[in-house]
Amino acid sequence: MLERNRAALPSSLDTLAPTRRLQRLRRTAPLRDLVAETGFTRSQLVQPLFIVEDPADARDIAGLPGNARLTPESALARLDADLESGVRQFLLFPVPARKHARDFEPAFICETIALLRRRATREDATFWLDTCLCSYTADGHCCLHDARGEQDLPATLDALAGLALDYAAAGADGIAPSDMNDGRVAALRLALDAAGHDLVPIMSYSAKFASQLYGPFRGAANSAPKHGDRRRYQIDVRARRDALASSQRCADEGADLLMVKPGMSSLDLIQPIADATGLAVGAYQVSGEYAALALLAREGFADFDAALLESWHALRRGGAAFIITYGARLGRALGLAAR
């Protein structure tokens, strides 16, 4: 056998150019695992929860299979199930029963925070609170307007700071401003520190684009604008420099974590933002991205679980330190380690 193998060798090895077979390390699962460049755990997935004030508004969310609008009571059962599946990070979205021009009342979501906090210790679960005005305002915008219809930035920052203080006092672990108004991270940091919440971190939506991919979310959060759009304060999808500058501004104003949104269409930004700011940068796999995978699966064009896991690996490959996804509770079923 040895003689036959040697006979197959060319007479002059130095005349051969080596054949580069990239498939050599793709041949088996152990070889692919050996050279895998991304890996993550269920601890790096964040599960959104929508909490409604009116029990009549509790229902499944169109386009987001496995997700529903929850009452404070049903949120407890959902929390128990999610903790069992290994979810440790939650992003809460309040859905008030009534909208107002100003003077918002977040009592119901604060009561929910306290309820969830009594069920799970800070070591068991982290509760981030999306901090924005769009679900509270009568016009569905993320800012307040003056009598001329122009943005009232000082009043907007005051309202956001008030919500952040209420959330933190109720037991929220972190604040996640999503409004994209100028100066909001600095305003929240100053307010939190002054009230003794200096250890409450801020996870800023630092590069949030005006996107067509938020449809299912706006239905879930009852947050669609009643007039116009949000292009005056969200980033134009063509404006890469603006996204980088917005993220740098949030870092300079005291953000602890940054985030890009939508995640899949911001893959070119995650690592550059992390490199520029020195902060961990996450990605929000938004409702339209998640719903697209569900639609592909429903029509028989993809395996949903495999496609979801593929998308998470792509986000991690792009540099995402954490991923906000409506499928975080599926992490264990998809084979991700606990931590």
Question: Domain containing 263 — which CATH number?
Answer: 3.20.20.70
Domain count, the chain: 1
Burial class of 3 by CB neighbour count within 10 A (0 to 12, 13 to 18, 19+): exposed
Is residue 208 among the annotated active site residues? yes
Domain housing 111: 40-330
Cβ atoms of 253 and 320 closer than 8 Å: no
In a domain, 319, yes or no: yes
Q: What element of type H or E holds 94?
A: strand 89-95
Strand partners, 152: none
Catalytic residue among 141, 208, 230, 329: 208
pLDDT score of 17: 57
Residues of the chain with pLDDT under 70: 1-19, 24
pLDDT score of 242: 97
In a domain, 5, yes or no: no
Is residue 226 among the annotated active site residues? no
| Residue 49: strand, helix, or coil | strand
Catalytic residue among 88, 189, 261, 316: 261
In a domain, 339, yes or no: no
Burial class of 332 by CB neighbour count within 10 A (0 to 12, 13 to 18, 19+): middle
In a domain, 99, yes or no: yes
pLDDT tens for residues 280-327? 999 999 999 999 999 999 999 999 999 999 999 999 999 999 999 999
| Residue 181: strand, helix, or coil | coil
pTM of the model: 0.91
Cβ neighbours for 75, distance < 8 A, ≥ 6 positions apart: 49, 51, 112, 115, 116
In a domain, 16, yes or no: no
In a domain, 60, yes or no: yes
Cβ atoms of 134 and 223 closer than 8 Å: yes
pLDDT score of 28: 76
Retrieve residue 89's tokens: 């990070």
The one-letter amino acid code at 113 reads I
In a domain, 283, yes or no: yes
Contacts 24+ apart (CB under 8 A), 6-12: none
pLDDT score of 325: 98
pLDDT tens for residues 55-64? 999 999 999 9
The one-letter amino acid code at 199 reads L
pLDDT score of 37: 78
In a domain, 28, yes or no: no
